[in-house]
Structure formats: structure tokens, C-alpha cells
Structure 1
Amino acid sequence: MANLSLLLSIVLQVLGRVACLEQVNDRQCDCYLTNDTSKNYFTTHDFFDFRALAQYAKVPSPITDPYDSSDADETSNYFLDENWTNVWGIQRWNNSDGVDSGDVPVLLVNSPNNIYIEKNEDEDPSSETFLTMRTLRYRHYQSAAEFESISKAYHFLSVRMYARTIGAPGAVTAMFTYRNDGGARELTSVQESDLEIRTMDPPDKVQYTNQPSYNLEGYDIPQSTQNATTPKQADWTQWSVHRMDWSPKNTTWYIDGRQVASIAFQVPRDPSQVIFNAWSDGGEWSGNMTVGDAAYLQIQWIEIVYNSTGNEKTTDKRNDDMARAPLNAKRDEGCQNVCSIDDTPTTGTPVLLQGAASRISDHILGLGVAYVWIPLLLATFLI
């Protein structure tokens, strides 16, 4: 009983520290410390919340003509507001060059008509609405969806989406960073970290890659990619937090806080874009969707903490020298107020990690997973 009393005392102290973390706004944060194994610092935080946008909810009718689809208007004023347009650009490009050259079998056309706010009609909905990205197959083309960051200056980040993928086989939904300094065919100029869900795969399998995944001779590069199994009860058809952390040493992926993959091979080096898409081109990777079928990436929210460089267009208004400084220099010179988006009880709202000693002890204890290990310890003592 003495041991149990001691354990309960420790648990209460730890939970007390979590409860005392002050929720703040981003203006009160000098930088952000993530709770992954490498404890990365970032300078800037963005949060995009699609959970309560009933005034914009409307599922647009599909557009059968590929040219009309590409020229379609945005589906609601939400995508015309500067809070969206200052950060994201909805794409209209197509792959007709690849079709003409014989590289891909099906014409892919990105359309603003396939990105919209939808009412959540789940049996027990966890939100009022969500953002949907739709890809659907017509006889002569695949209508797809993509939005990219306006900035090409993200230089290391932790990006998360609370999302699910549903629909027919033959599509890919993805969240990734991307940079290409050469032409479309310049394989060696690509720097990219991918999270890809293929709807022809089992629902507990997700593909993670630091591109390119094959060489100039066309051979696969096994060390560039991992096909991971999702945690139990978190297959890609279920609402889950998908997270990608890009750091100088590796790219690491998580589902609902559990690490599922990490790749140190050919980690992107240079500033990049952030991209989300839902697509198919009828090729070997995506599969060939049946005419009339569709698949969907549905997202309740997107959250990013990141550093950026001033060498290109950037959304980071903070001092660039601080963003690229060593971690200790950041803490001493630029990070008097260190915040967390992991230890907060309210998604999208950071908490202030109070005091240097408290910050160190909290993250040694791993408070981001406190609610997992505390019940396990209690169960051990009570058996």
C-alpha cells in the first residue's frame, strides 16, 4: 500500500503540472517544442479548423468536361478568404503532357470543384463539418484535387491532419513536402517527404517515402520507403491524427501519437512546399479507378509548426537567423516563451511550458503520453 500511495502521489503531481499549463495565443510564443524523440524547436504555428463551417457546407455536383472542371470556381467563399488564400493555393494543372508522351494512361485534371466543405453526417459525428478532397473517374479523364502552400520556404516542420480516406480502389490521398529545382523529368532534383494512402491497399497499410523512390535506371531504392501498419483501431478509413515531422536528420511519421515509420535516407535538405492531394492517373502506383467511382480525403483540421527561410517567399515573419540557429541559441536568445501544441487540452491552442526547469522535467517525463503510461502503472500496482 505504501508503494501505491507513493505512485498516486507522483501521478497527481504530474497531472497537476499538465493541468497548470497555461493556454495562450501564438503572439505569446517565441517558439514551439514538439514531443517527438528528437525534441525539435520551431518558430511558427498555423492551425486550420474545418470543424464548424456549416455556413459553407455544400457538396458540389461533379463536372464531366475536363476543361470546364479545371476552370470551375471555388466551391465557397471560405476558399476566397485571405485566411485561406494567404497560405494555400488550389490547383488547376493537368498531366496532358504525360498522357501525350505515353508516361501515364489517364488524363488527370485538378479542379477547385473537388475541394469543398461538407456536413459531417457520421452516426456519432466528432465535428459539424469537414473539408473534403474528391477524386472521381470519368470515361475519358480523372477529376482530382490538390492544394499547395503559397510559400516554398518551409524549412523543417511538424505537420498534422485529423483525417480519413474513404472510397473506391484506384486513388491516392497524400500529405507531403515537395521541392523540384529542375524540370518535371529531372528525377535527381526532387526533394520530397510523403505520406501516401493507396485505396487499393489494405486499410491498415500506409506508404511513407523520402523521394525519389527509384533511380535513373528505373530500379527501386528500398531504403527510401516504408510500408507501415497502422495502430489497431486506426486504419486509414477511421478519423486519426496523421503527423509528419521533417527534421535535418530524418523524416518521422506518427498516427494518433504512435511512431509508425522513420527514414534517414535522402532526407530533404532545402526549403519546400506543403501539399495535400487526392488523385489517380490510371498508372501502376495509383491503380486504375473504375468509371463512375470516387474516393475522398476528408480533413477536420490541419496544424503546422515550422521554420522557414527568408531566401524565398515565406509566411514566417519572425527573424530568419533565429529560425536557423542552434537549439541552445534559440532557447537562450530567441525562445524565452517556449510553447507546445502537443501538451494542450485544446487542439489548435498552444500551451506555455513554464520555466526552463519545468520544461526539461516535463519532456523527460514525456507528458505527451502521460495519459497512456499512468493508467498502465496504476494497473500494474493494483494487480
Structure 2
Amino acid sequence: MAIQSLQTFLFIVLQVVGRVTCLKEVSDRQCDCYLTNDTSKNYFTTHNFFDFRALAQYAKVPSPIADPYDSTNADETSNYFLNDNWTKVWGIQQWNNSDTVDSGDVPVLLVNSPNNIYIEKNEDENASSDTFLTMRTLRYKDYQSTAEFESISKAYHFLSVRMYARTIGAPGAITAMFTYRNDGGSTQLTTVQESDLEIRTMDPKDKVQYTNQPSYNAAGYDIPKATRNATTPIQADWTQWSVHRMDWSPTDTTWYIDGRQVASIAFQVPRDPSQVIFNAWSDGGEWSGNMSVGKDAYLQIQWIEIVYNSTGNAKTTDKRNEDTAWSLSNAKRDEEGCQNVCSIDDTPTTGTPVLLQGGASRISDHILGLGVAYIWIPLLLATFLI
């Protein structure tokens, strides 16, 4: 009897695993919307994937530029950053913080340079890619040379963004992935809407800072509810290659490392359409720390993936028209506009979506994803055998 029951159990298990593993890889043209997994199960209309793992033809580490004027006016480091696939979505920044230095708010001149964003050959032992994108920040005597690129669109309105990345280098730098909106460019804190993932290289390597900005008020006092200093999973400190994920929804911002939730903040969630920004920087201030002259730090990224909704305005990267750029809440209800539901989480090939079985009307069939199945099947089997 026990053997027969075990056979029945295993048959059911194989049916479930078979249903999950037969998910079909498809192109984005075949997807009406995307459903994310884990605690932040949300629907999104559009998918973008930027792969820096096999770009040997562009790989070259540019020599640093000591002069701040020459640095800010440097050319892009390769034709990759002149290609439409890049320039239609991202803009490399060349601004500086001279105004805040002149006012005494921060001690060190920060200068963003295209020279600090480049494709680099992966020299790791047992490297997991041929190349990766590097964002570099270096300290000179008179200034900090930094790197930033931001989305051309300011119309991202809820998203799930991931990067497979690591941070290495000297104390005194910040590497970050975040959403940002500042109405009218005002200096008033109340105009800022921002969700941050920040790594401070002066912090312990197992600590990452997550914040829904602003994190302090007009009087200069910290707002504890706005920020979390989280511990990374074991074997996933920020010097190691890991998938860093941020899910921004109407109710909260939630962050993951290698699929494990590490922080979630429901306070002060950004409300309005925003940009997506990546950077590596320092200004010598209290938050970043003051990097020693001659030192450097790096954010290195193998790939970036985003599923998102947008407002559908003229600058959006959403390839659909305004009528199909619907809100997250509408996406859940509108089965006619979301017949083909895809996933970027349950795919065997990073960057390629899979079509979830049954479309929007049978999405519950897929709640037990492949990653979950590997966990609960052994647990159930152990329980049965006991």
C-alpha cells in the first residue's frame, strides 16, 4: 500500500513538473503582458533586455582622463554606446555638481564622464561571460571622475528591474540602481520621488541600503520608515556576481538578491512616472565617504532586464501606442488585452520570456513555478516518507 501511494504521489509530482518545464520560450512580440513572481506578483506591459556578456568586439578599458573638462567632454568609449539599441533607451550623463560644491554642501567636485562607461573583457577564473559593462569612478586630487546613465524616458510607471552585477573597489564610492523623479528640478525634498538600491563601498560587504526617498526631512532628521540597511544572502555579498532586483508597485517597493527578498518599504512609495538610473560616484560627503586620491571603484554589469508599464507619452520606450499603455491595475482586469501572459522569471534562458500556460484566464495554473517546485517537492516527499 505504501509503495502504491508513493507511486501515485510521484506521478502527480511528475505531472506538475512536466507542466511547468514545458513552458515555451517566445519572443516579446508574442507577449501581451508579463507576470512577475515571488511576493511582488504584478503585471507589466513591456520587456527590455540589455545583454553585455558577449561583446568582445567592443571590449576596451579606456585610460582615465585627469582633466575634469576633458573628462566630461570625452567621446563614448565604443560604437556600442552609439547604437540605436542603446541610444533609444539610455543616455550617458556629463553633468557635474559644481553648484553644490560652490555652495559648500559637498566637498568634492563630481564630474560624470562617458569615458567611465565601457565594455570590458571578463578575466575572472571560470568566467560566466566573455564581457561585461563597467561603470568606473576614480579620485583625483581636485575632483572625482564618475559614471551615470539614465533612461531617455521619464515615463516608467511601475516596474521590475534587475541587473546581474557586482561592485568592487576602494571605500568612498556609491554604486546604485534606482528610479527617480523630481518635479521641475526643485531642491525641495517634497518634490522628490525615488526608490534606491545603493551599495556604499565603505560599508561591510554584506550590507546594502534600500530607500524610498527622501530619507530625511527639511530639518535634517532621518526618517527611519523610509530606509532599510539589509543583509545580503549568504555567499552573495556585493563583491560577488548576483541578481539585484527592484520591484516598484503602487503599494510598495521590494528588493531581492538572487531571488531572495531582502527588503520591502510601503512608506513613501513613488507615485508618478519616473526615470531609471544607474551610477557609480562619490562627492566626498558623509553619505558616500571621501575616497583616497588615486583610488577607484567599479559597478560591473553582465545584463539588465526590465518589465514595466509606462504613461505612453511621446518619450516613452514603450513600443505600444498610448491606448495599450495601461496601468498595473487595469492589466490585471483586462483579459482581452492580456491573452498571452509571459514570464521572465521562469525561463531557462535569461532575457527570453516564456509563455505561461492558459494565458490570463488560467494564470493560477502557473503559480507553482519551476523554482518553487524544486523546493516544495522534496519537502512533501520527506513528509510522506516520515
Note closer, same or farther for the CA distance 1:83–1:229 as it changes in structure 2 (3 Å cut).
same
Shift of 1:316: 0.8
Shift of 1:379: 5.1
Aligned match for 1:318, one of 311, 317, 320: 320
Conserved? CA contact 1:224–1:266, under 8 Å: yes
Conserved? CA contact 1:153–1:312, under 8 Å: no
Q: What's 1:300 paired with?
A: 302
Between the aligned partners of 1:187 and 1:97, the Cα distance in structure 2 is 17
Note closer, same or farther for the CA distance 1:268–1:9 as it changes in structure 2 (3 Å cut).
same
Whether 1:374 aligns to 2:380 is no
Between the aligned partners of 2:40 and 2:94, the Cα distance in structure 1 is 38
Aligned match for 1:288, one of 290, 311, 314: 290
Conserved? CA contact 2:44–2:331, under 8 Å: no
Note closer, same or farther for the CA distance 1:376–1:234 as it changes in structure 2 (3 Å cut).
farther
Shift of 1:347: 0.3
Partner of 1:14, secondary structure, is: helix
Q: What's 2:281 paired with?
A: 279
Could you tell me the TM-score, scaled by structure 1's length?
0.96
Q: What's 2:343 paired with?
A: 340
Note closer, same or farther for the CA distance 1:114–1:382 as it changes in structure 2 (3 Å cut).
farther
Q: What's 1:99 paired with?
A: 101
Paired residue type of 2:333: A
Deviations 1:88-141 (A, max 9, x none): 000000000000000000000000000000000001100000000000101110
Between the aligned partners of 1:328 and 1:350, the Cα distance in structure 2 is 19
Conserved? CA contact 1:308–1:320, under 8 Å: no
Deviations 1:161-218 (A, max 9, x none): 0000011110000000000003352211000000000000111100000000001111
Between the aligned partners of 2:298 and 2:269, the Cα distance in structure 1 is 29
Paired residue type of 2:344: I
Shift of 1:15: 1.8
Could you tell me the TM-score, scaled by structure 2's length?
0.95
Shift of 1:19: 1.9
Shift of 1:318: 1.9
Paired residue type of 1:346: T
Q: What's 1:217 paired with?
A: 219
Paired residue type of 2:102: D
Partner of 2:185, secondary structure, is: coil
Q: Which runs of 5+ in 2 are unaligned?
A: none
Partner of 1:334, secondary structure, is: coil
Conserved? CA contact 1:197–1:207, under 8 Å: yes
Percent identity between matched residues is 83
Conserved? CA contact 1:208–1:227, under 8 Å: yes
Between the aligned partners of 2:249 and 2:164, the Cα distance in structure 1 is 21
Note closer, same or farther for the CA distance 1:130–1:378 as it changes in structure 2 (3 Å cut).
farther
Partner of 2:317, secondary structure, is: coil
Matches within 5 A, 1:28-177: 28-177=30-179
Q: How well do the aligned residues superpose, as a CA RMSD in angstroms?
A: 1.6
Aligned residues: 381
Conserved? CA contact 1:338–1:353, under 8 Å: yes
Between the aligned partners of 1:377 and 1:288, the Cα distance in structure 2 is 53
Q: What's 2:365 paired with?
A: 361
Shift of 1:18: 2.0
Note closer, same or farther for the CA distance 1:74–1:265 as it changes in structure 2 (3 Å cut).
same
Q: What's 1:350 paired with?
A: 353
Paired residue type of 2:82: L
Paired residue type of 1:264: A
Q: What's 1:266 paired with?
A: 268
Note closer, same or farther for the CA distance 1:110–1:353 as it changes in structure 2 (3 Å cut).
same
Shift of 1:328: 3.8
Shift of 1:333: 2.1
Matches within 5 A, 1:163-242: 163-242=165-244
Aligned match for 2:333, one of 316, 329, 332: 329
Shift of 1:371: 2.8
Between the aligned partners of 2:166 and 2:19, the Cα distance in structure 1 is 33
Note closer, same or farther for the CA distance 1:375–1:190 as it changes in structure 2 (3 Å cut).
same
